[in-house]
Amino acid sequence: MAVNSNDIEAIVRQVLSSMDGKGVSSATPSASGFGAAGRTQYDIPATAHCAFLTDIKHFEIKEFPMPEVGDDDILVKVEGTGVCGTDAAEYKFDPFKYIPINLGHEGTGTVVKVGKNVKKDSAGKPLGVGDKVVTCMIFHEDPSITMFDLNKQNIGEADVYGLIPDDDRHLTGWFSDYILIRGGSTIFNVSDMDLDSRILIEPCAVLIHAVERAKSTGILKFNSKVVVQGCGPIGLICVAILRTMGIINIVTVDGNDQRLEFSHEMGATGHVNFMNYKGVENLAAAVKDALGGELADFAFQCTGSPAGHSNVYKFIRNGGGLCELGFFINGGDATINPHFDICSKEITTVGSWVYTLRDYATTFEFLKAAKRDGIPMSKLITHKFALKDINEAFETNIAQKGLKIAVMSE
Ligand SMILES: NC(=O)c1ccc[n+]([C@@H]2O[C@H](COP(=O)([O-])OP(=O)(O)OC[C@H]3O[C@@H](n4cnc5c(N)ncnc54)[C@H](O)[C@@H]3O)[C@@H](O)[C@H]2O)c1
Ligand SMILES: [Zn+2]
């Protein structure tokens, strides 16, 4: 990737030091800056509309008075928001007990009003009315605790717009026509990216983090033979990231031929449909074949299937590595044989959970690299629905039609 990790570290450190617990910095804009978009005035309506999941499989559009924009706040007119597997799980059975909630966390839009202290984004880039933005985490504590050391794992106490409780100012989720970004949040000016890329930033950050975790094992290298199991949006983005890293031997495993075929557009060089094989030994032999006669150096497990977790060890060579990232939702227990699967093979495993602020900077560079390399990322967004049709968008998602479903607010 084009940005080296030292640069990213420097940028993020600079951002965090300017946050002094307040989030968006109030420092003076730099003379050499990137130039916030024009100073256009936007007509802001008196009310906003937010899609609330009020019951299982039921969204209602609620209307609220447009809130006051405080000195550190940012009002964003939403353009579009991806539907995530977590949103779909909430819609189906509310596993996180969030109902009623204004969902939507994979969103992007245009800044239409800023408080007087808002001058820059979380990377130190000038930010103003007219700029296109995405948000990352809202940290409760010092984000540097987990920000710089990948082995410290996870992100500690943090919230995400679209997965937080409603409050008296409302507009907390991206499935809305306006969202109020409160002071103390993280925000990025991504005006130099097209709309589809911006909608894909959040899920891509999940995979950037997973690949960073994988690299921390020292096993994943540019010439590794890699298996990506699961060809939903998560696995497909994983393939694209590996490809932009220069990894060329990538085999995908799924049960859906259409998704497997599509994985080649993302950069896969071979695929195996697990439905065609009886018994994991036969499946592993097919994977080995597809990799050119050797087992994988590294595997990414991108399904929420316990059987998928059990199987994946069989695809990995002795001394190889595994990144398990498929279980954002508890999918139940998986059976493995510790003797054959881990101990005697000396497999190094890492888990991966969401992303950190630093992964966002890398994600922007990845999406630009994917564009340069001709990887058709926007084809991942197969359906776009208007906000008023959000129930239909979710029905399409849970019927497993297409790949990434987006809800468009304008
Ligand atoms: N770690 C994180 O932070 C994080 C973040 C987001 C999502 N996730 C998880 O990633 C997983 C994938 O997300 P998605 O949106 O791509 O989901 P998805 O349901 O669209 O895709 C999963 C794919 O796995 C395939 N599959 C199912 N069982 C399989 C098996 N035994 N072998 C091979 N393939 C199998 C399915 O056919 C499907 O194409 C989800 O389970 C989600 O919980 C994790
Ligand atoms: Zn998500």
Cα 388 to chain centroid, rounded? 24
Alpha helical stretches, state H, 136-188: 144-147
| pTM, two decimal places | 0.88
Q: Which of 310, 328, 363, 381 to mutate for ligand 1's pocket (most ligand atoms within 8 Å of CB)?
A: 328
Q: Whose CA is nearest to atom 10 of ligand 1?
A: 326
CA of 230 relative to ligand 1 center, distance in Å: 5
**Rounded CA gap, 91 and 59, in Å?**
8
3-state DSSP assignment of residue 138: strand
**Rounded CA gap, 315 and 108, in Å?**
38
Give DSSP secondary structure letters for 329-359.
S--------IIIIIITTT-EEEE--S--HHH
Give DSSP secondary structure letters for 10-30.
HHHHHHHHHHTTTSS--PPPP
3-state DSSP assignment of residue 160: coil
**Rounded CA gap, 135 and 294, in Å?**
42
**Protein residues near ligand 2, an ion, with CB under 5 A:** 84
The atom number, within ligand 1, closest to the CA of 89 reads 43
CA of 228 relative to ligand 1 center, distance in Å: 11
Ligand lying closest to the C-alpha of residue 104: 2
Residues 6+ apart with CB under 8 A from 388: 61
CA of 400 relative to ligand 1 center, distance in Å: 12
Q: Does domain 5-192+376-408 have CATH number 3.90.180.10?
A: yes
Ligand lying closest to the C-alpha of residue 105: 2
The atom number, within ligand 1, closest to the CA of 84 reads 15
The atom number, within ligand 1, closest to the CA of 85 reads 15
Q: Which of 90, 207, 254 to mutate for ligand 1's pocket (most ligand atoms within 8 Å of CB)?
A: 254
Report the 10 Å Cβ neighbour count for 403.
19
Q: What is the pLDDT of residue 284?
A: 98
Ligand lying closest to the C-alpha of residue 199: 2
**Per-residue confidence of the chain (410 residues) as pLDDT tens digits?**
333 444 444 444 444 433 333 333 322 333 333 334 445 689 999 999 999 999 999 999 999 999 999 999 999 999 999 999 999 999 999 988 999 999 999 999 999 999 999 999 988 999 999 999 999 888 776 655 544 444 444 555 678 999 999 999 999 999 999 999 999 899 999 999 999 999 999 999 999 999 999 999 999 999 999 999 999 999 999 999 999 999 999 999 999 999 999 999 999 999 999 999 999 999 999 999 999 999 999 999 999 999 999 999 999 999 999 999 999 989 999 999 999 999 999 999 999 988 888 899 999 999 999 999 999 999 999 999 999 999 999 999 999 899 999 999 97
CA of 322 relative to ligand 2 center, distance in Å: 22
Token pair 């697990």 is at which residue? 274
**Cα end-to-end span (Å), the chain:** 33
Give CATH 3.90.180.10 domain extents, the chain: 5-192+376-408
CA of 220 relative to ligand 2 center, distance in Å: 25
Buried b (16+ CB within 10 A) or exposed e, 359-374: bbbbbbbbbbbbbeee
**Rounded CA gap, 403 and 252, in Å?**
16
Ligand 1, pocket residues at CB < 6 Å: 85, 206, 229-235, 253-256, 259, 274, 302-305, 307-308, 325-329, 352-354
Q: How many CA atoms lie within 13 A of 107 on its CB side?
A: 34
3-state DSSP assignment of residue 51: strand
Q: Running DSSP on this structure, what letter comes out for residue 400?
A: T
Q: What is the pLDDT of residue 297?
A: 98
State which CATH number among 3.20.20.80, 3.30.350.10, 3.40.1160.10, 3.40.50.720 fits the domain covering 206-351.
3.40.50.720
3-state DSSP assignment of residue 405: strand
